[in-house]
Structure 1
């Protein structure tokens, strides 16, 4: 590890998905990413607080 780059997200080549994976994996809870959800013309609505089963 380079002493001048103490945090993984400051390493060259790390994107936001890499940072989130690095920080959230240890929580042991499901995290979804890369979905067309939220704001935009073709955004899917994802209900919060409901049970969901996804196929890996």
Structure 2
């Protein structure tokens, strides 16, 4: 991947988990939840390698 300059799409996608905020009385609205993006561990490692090579 690094030699070709290609970053696979599977590494870019994220699962979004909605975590309810504490102390909200009404959980029927989106403002009552906090979105957390769960990224690929392989993608995170690859980003670190690229950042290390660039610096």
TM bucket normalised to smaller: under 0.3
The higher relative CO (CA closer than 8 Å, separation ≥ 6) is in: 2
Q: Is the radius of gyration larger for structure 1 or structure 2?
A: 2
Structure whose residues are more often strand by fraction: 2
TM-score (norm. length: structure 1): 0.23
TM-score (norm. length: structure 2): 0.24
